[in-house]
Amino acid sequence: MVESVACPALGKVRAECLTAWAQLIEALIAERRPDRPVPPMVGTAAIGAVVHLLATAIEEGRDLSSMSGVLAGTAYRLLPV
């Protein structure tokens, strides 16, 4: 994810992947809570937070194997479900 920013071709693929991920999250929210409208860009906000946490962990030299629970938990807590 981090390295893809430096390469335009990878950047495009990265953007497409993040958009698809955000759309999936929004669809899952809509499916789980059909009685509540999905706020605009909520998936994008959740994904942005997760990507920022990952980038920060890389910059700080953390062991990424310990990050999966943090990333999943953060994404879940950000979602309006």
Whole-model pTM over 0.75:
no
Q: Tokens for 69? A: 């629970």
Q: Tokens for 58? A: 């890389």
Checking if the pLDDT of 62 tops 70, the result is yes
Question: Is 75 in contact with 26 (CB distance < 8 Å)?
Answer: no
Bigger pLDDT: 68 vs 47: 47
For residues 1-16, average pLDDT: 74
For residues 29-44, average pLDDT: 86
- Helices and strands: H and E segment counts in the chain: 3, 0
